[in-house]
């Protein structure tokens, strides 16, 4: 589970979806990096992630890790956002048996983990059907 | 660089070894390798271990195990690259002999996974993925490979029957391996009706939690010729490559780039093609992994790995036998030990010591050991001299 200092440090990504865009080649990194793995440039500008995308693949977790046991079965997928960034996230507010690759999804701000060992309630992004 | 031979191997029965500590498990395997090689000392040792800290609350294994071996002052180095720790430990041992730094070197791997409960073991394994951007969202290792499987099925038409064929074949091979943790045979029906862990992967698609160790002794080939009366096995290639730790950062979810790159380098070093490999031990942590790895190693075209498994091409007696040892699936998967146990199987096969599971006319064997969802890969090619 996540300690409070680590969680606080991650707030710009978890709450504000801040990514880094390479000013030389335009590639976007989430989370931000110090070196572009495309062109090795070290110059970036801060951008906000696109809020919609397409489900590229997913699974339904039946055996959950510690902290997620009450939520099974739940879907986790890899979503390709409209700005080209791929991220891993839960997909909620849907029937997990009816999810399909190619589904259009929208990012929402949600509670991700009920309670870490440090007592921190962790918020962040989850995805829901776009329509 | 000097040519290097593997002249000794060791491994004990794998499983839930509650009665044995990691010291005992590791030392038994190491001593067997030393006795098999017929040497009275080693100049240095490497041990691959993914997470002594999380599985046993014990780090600092290099020094600890060098001492257990009774060879106190020798350099003892622990190597970590998640589930590829063993393959990388072997590679470090190879490099230290090839470079001329040391003459007699012990390569080994160890994992003691059953001292903690299932939840803690699952957590320890999950640290091979991106904690902040994958695991934070509740994904597990079976879940990550399940996402690879679903993408592969959607893109290439890989079926559940093809996934099951990998498990059936590896348990068939493992039933002929006296050291395997789960030597029982399974049917495709049993695999496809076993409990779902992370759709579409079921429990019988997954490798188990295992305690175990494995070891090998490496020396310069010229020295081996003078000291060993067993068939000589030399290291023809040792390659390693990396990729992003997070699956979502890969160019393609259905392609294991680090394995493809390491294999390309290994074929170049050995001066051979995939068709000239007699058999291969691959990292089948999940059935889909074996399918994707056999494609990345160049044995089959992209998307054809599932069909090849189903048609028997990868069985003992097939065009390219994959995992004659039973693989991680049946033999077990003490993560840090796996890469070294693969080398042991290569040496045994090339010496012709495998009995019922012996690959006919085995002259060149390959091993592929990977960490996480393929963020790191070690590929080795061994040849009978």
In order, the DSSP letters of B129-170 are: S-TTTTGGGT--HHHHHHHHHHHHHHHH---HHHHHHHHHHH
Task: Look at A58 and B150 and tell me if their CB atoms are within 8 Å.
Answer: yes
What stretches of B185-256 show up as alpha helix (H) in DSSP? 188-193, 221-227
* B201/A contact by beta carbon, under 8 A: yes
Q: What is the pLDDT of residues B288-323, one digit of tens each?
A: 999 999 999 999 999 999 999 999 999 999 999 999
* B18/A contact by beta carbon, under 8 A: no
What is the average pLDDT value for chain A, to the nearest integer? 92
Residues of chain B with pLDDT under 70: none
Task: Look at A59 and B201 and tell me if their CB atoms are within 8 Å.
Answer: yes
B214 shares a domain with B164: no
ipTM: 0.96
From the candidates B116, B120, B157, B199, which should be mutated to test the interface with A, based on the most A CB atoms within 10 A? B199
B195 shares a domain with B88: no
* A34/B contact by beta carbon, under 8 A: no
Residues of B in contact with A2 (CB under 8 A): 136
Per-residue confidence band for A2, with pLDDT thresholds at 50, 70 and 90: low
B327 shares a domain with B192: yes
Whole-number pLDDT of residue A7? 79
Query: Does the residue B299 lie in any domain?
Result: yes
Q: What is the pLDDT of residues B337-369, one digit of tens each?
A: 999 999 999 999 999 999 999 999 999 999 999
Query: Does the residue B350 lie in any domain?
Result: yes
This prediction's pTM: 0.97
Query: Does the residue B286 lie in any domain?
Result: yes
* A59/B contact by beta carbon, under 8 A: yes
Residues of A in contact with B142 (CB under 8 A): 63
Select from B179, B198, B233 the last residue of a domain: B233
* A131/B contact by beta carbon, under 8 A: no
Please state, in angstroms and rounded to a whole number, the distance separating the CA atoms of residues B372 and B131.
Answer: 12
Please state, in angstroms and rounded to a whole number, the distance separating the CA atoms of residues A3 and A17.
Answer: 20
Query: Does the residue B130 lie in any domain?
Result: no
Which tokens in the block code for residue A45?
């500008």
B226 shares a domain with B292: no
B198 shares a domain with B166: yes
Sequence-separated (6 or more) residues with CB below 8 Å from residue B225: B232
Task: Look at B136 and A2 and tell me if their CB atoms are within 8 Å.
Answer: yes
Q: How far is A87 from chain B (nearest CA, A)?
A: 6
Residues of A in contact with B134 (CB under 8 A): 88
Select from B198, B233, B268 the last residue of a domain: B233
* B139/A contact by beta carbon, under 8 A: yes
B220 shares a domain with B185: no
B257 shares a domain with B154: yes
Question: What per-residue string of b and e applies to A99-124 under the rule 16 or more CB within 10 Å gives b?
Answer: bebebebebeeeebbeebeeebebeb
CATH topology of domain A4-129: OB fold (Dihydrolipoamide Acetyltransferase, E2P) (2.40.50)
Identify which of A6, A10, A112 has the shortest CB distance to residue B137.
A112
Domain extent at residue B158: 138-206+237-384
Q: How far is B148 from chain A (nearest CA, A)?
A: 8
Whole-number pLDDT of residue A6? 80
From the candidates A10, A14, A63, A97, which should be mutated to test the interface with B, based on the most B CB atoms within 10 A? A63
Whole-number pLDDT of residue A67? 84
**Residue A1 pLDDT greater than 60, yes or no:** no
Closest of B97, B42, B49, B96 to residue B71, by C-alpha: B42
B351 shares a domain with B302: yes
Task: Count chain A–chain B contacts defined by CB atoms under 8 A.
Answer: 93
Task: Mean pLDDT check: name the lowest of A50-54, A63-67, A90-94, B303-307.
Answer: A63-67
User: How do the domains of chain A map onto residue ranges?
Assistant: 4-129
The number of domains in chain B is 2
B343 shares a domain with B258: yes
Query: Does the residue B129 lie in any domain?
Result: no
Catalytic residue, from B22, B102, B152, B333: name it.
Answer: B333
Domain with B200 in it: what CATH number? 3.40.47.10
Task: Look at B198 and A59 and tell me if their CB atoms are within 8 Å.
Answer: yes
Task: Look at A113 and B196 and tell me if their CB atoms are within 8 Å.
Answer: no
Task: Look at A61 and B140 and tell me if their CB atoms are within 8 Å.
Answer: yes
Sequence-separated (6 or more) residues with CB below 8 Å from residue B40: none
B371 shares a domain with B275: yes
B109 shares a domain with B28: yes
Task: Look at A59 and B136 and tell me if their CB atoms are within 8 Å.
Answer: no
Q: What integer is the mean pLDDT of A100-120?
A: 85
Which tokens in the block code for residue B181?
């943790």
- Map residue A16 onto helix, strand or coil: coil
Whole-number pLDDT of residue A115? 60
Catalytic site includes residue B272 = no
B275 shares a domain with B165: yes
Query: Does the residue B27 lie in any domain?
Result: yes
């Amino acid at each position: 589970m996540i300690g409070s200092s680590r969680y606080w440090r991650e707030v710009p990504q978890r709450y504000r979806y801040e990514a880094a865009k390479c000013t030389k080649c335009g590639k976007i990194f989430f989370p931000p990096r110090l070196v572009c793995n495309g062109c090795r440039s070290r110059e970036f500008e801060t951008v906000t992630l696109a809020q919609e995308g397409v489900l590229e693949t997913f699974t339904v977790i039946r055996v959950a890790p510690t902290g997620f046991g009450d939520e099974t079965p739940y879907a986790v997928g890899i979503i390709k956002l409209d700005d080209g960034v791929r991220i891993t996230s839960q997909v909620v507010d849907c029937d997990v048996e009816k999810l399909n690759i190619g589904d259009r999804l929208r990012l929402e701000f949600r509670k991700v983990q009920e309670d870490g060992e440090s007592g921190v309630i962790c918020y962040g992004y989850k995805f829901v059907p776009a329509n | 660089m000097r040519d290097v031979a593997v002249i000794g191997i060791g491994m004990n029965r794998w499983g839930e070894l509650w009665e044995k500590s990691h010291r005992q498990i590791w030392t038994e395997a190491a001593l067997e390798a030393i006795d098999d090689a017929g040497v009275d000392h080693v100049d240095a040792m490497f041990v691959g271990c993914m997470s002594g800290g999380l599985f046993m609350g014990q780090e600092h294994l290099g020094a600890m195990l060098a001492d257990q071996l009774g060879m106190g002052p020798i350099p003892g180095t622990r190597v970590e690259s998640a589930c590829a720790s063993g393959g990388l430990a072997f590679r470090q041992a190879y490099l230290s002999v090839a470079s001329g730094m040391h003459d007699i070197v012990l390569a080994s791997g160890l994992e003691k996974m059953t001292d903690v409960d299932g939840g803690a073991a699952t957590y320890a394994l999950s640290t091979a993925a991106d904690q902040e951007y994958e695991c934070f969202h509740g994904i597990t290792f079976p879940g990550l490979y399940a996402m690879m499987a679903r993408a592969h099925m959607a893109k290439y038409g890989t079926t559940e029957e093809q996934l099951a064929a990998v498990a059936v074949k590896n348990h068939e091979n493992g039933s002929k391996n006296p050291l395997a943790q789960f030597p029982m045979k399974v049917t495709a029906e049993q695999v496809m009706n076993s409990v779902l862990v992370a759709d579409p992967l079921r429990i019988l698609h997954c490798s188990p939690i295992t305690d175990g160790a494995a070891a090998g002794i490496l020396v310069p080939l010229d020295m081996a010729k003078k000291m060993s009366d067993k068939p000589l096995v030399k290291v023809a290639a040792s390659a390693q490559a990396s990729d992003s730790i997070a699956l979502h950062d890969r160019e393609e979810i259905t392609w294991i780039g680090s394995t493809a790159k390491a294999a390309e380098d290994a074929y170049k070093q050995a001066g051979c093609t995939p068709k000239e490999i007699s058999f291969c031990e691959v990292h089948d942590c999940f059935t889909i992994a074996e399918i994707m790895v056999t494609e990345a190693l160049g044995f089959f075209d992209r998307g054809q790995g599932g069909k090849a498994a189903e048609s028997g091409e990868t069985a003992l007696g097939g065009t390219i036998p994959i995992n004659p040892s039973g693989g991680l699936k049946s033999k077990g998967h003490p993560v840090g030990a796996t890469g070294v146990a693969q080398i042991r199987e290569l040496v045994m096969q090339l010496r012709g010591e495998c009995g019922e599971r012996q690959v006919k006319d085995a002259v060149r064997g390959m091993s592929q050991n990977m960490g996480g969802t393929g963020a790191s890969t070690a590929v080795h090619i061994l040849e009978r001299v």
